[in-house]
Amino acid sequence: MLTYKDAQKFYDAFGEKQDRQFYEESAIIDLITHGNFAEAKNIVEFGCGTGNLASRLLNDVLPADCYYTGVDISPTMVELCREKLRRFPDRAKCLQSKGQPILNITSQSADRFISTYVLDLLSGEDITILLNEAYRVLMPGGYLCLAGLTHGASATSRLVVLVWRGIYRIRPSLVGGCRPLKITGYLKTDQWHILRDKVIESYAVPSEVLIARKV
Ligand SMILES: C[S@@+](CC[C@H](N)C(=O)[O-])C[C@H]1O[C@@H](n2cnc3c(N)ncnc32)[C@H](O)[C@@H]1O
């Protein structure tokens, strides 16, 4: 597991390379397709990286009155995100966080909470804290929209996951600190109604797309 300091250092150095993670694309498209973003008014993204998803949403999907807030631990990512969202000065902001996934965002103010390929690098304890924060920040009926590495579904993807886990065990930074996990295992059933839970394989790398409505 990467410490907060390690994660910040890694992603500061990784920067724009994050946008070349080709295996993420199919899951991101699925998330955009099923997240009902055309009706969103206020989006929060945790671990926004370079702002790639935010920029796609703001340019192509979101209504003109929808506001976006991104949060990331890496100053480099925050700068890249701000640069990408410069066209939307009144609708988008990106904030740097310190590590613990506690958000300086008003309770019940958002209708979408997004996080892609971030939970898989947090500790189990931080995943629980983050999901509680998502629950707090979302208004009733708001959507939790998550994607991340998961367990393999086919023989090939199971093999890829086996190798991935082996590398992670030796040195987590070689795989960006990410390890495959099942997000639904962390959801409290009295808080969330699952609308979509799908495993999507791309280049034999399995990703879980999870969309849940706050009860
Ligand atoms: C694998 S990248 C994913 C970036 C982006 N969501 C995407 O899908 O392209 C993980 C991102 O999470 C950020 N991150 C890692 N640990 C974090 C933490 N504790 N708090 C906030 N951001 C974090 C990293 O800086 C990085 O931008």
DSSP per residue, 147-189: EEE---SSHHHHHHHHHHHHHHHH-GGGGTT-----GGGG--T
Mean pLDDT of 130-159: 96
- The answer, yes or no, to whether residue 153 has pLDDT greater than 90, is no
- If you count them, how many residues does the chain have? 215
Give, using CA atoms, the residue closest to atom 15 of ligand 1.
7
Q: How far is CA 150 from CA 24, 115, 185, in A?
A: 12, 14, 11
- The answer, yes or no, to whether residue 138 has pLDDT greater than 90, is yes
For the whole model, what pTM was predicted?
A: 0.96
- The answer, yes or no, to whether residue 166 has pLDDT greater than 90, is yes
Domains of the chain in sequence order: 4-214 (3.40.50.150)
Q: Which of 118, 123, 146, 178 to mutate to test the pocket of ligand 1 (most atoms within 8 A of CB)?
A: 118
- The answer, yes or no, to whether residue 1 has pLDDT greater than 90, is no
160 C-alpha to ligand 1 centroid (Å) = 22
Give, using CA atoms, the residue closest to atom 19 of ligand 1.
99
- The answer, yes or no, to whether residue 54 has pLDDT greater than 90, is yes
Q: How far apart are CA 210 and CA 48, in angstroms?
A: 17
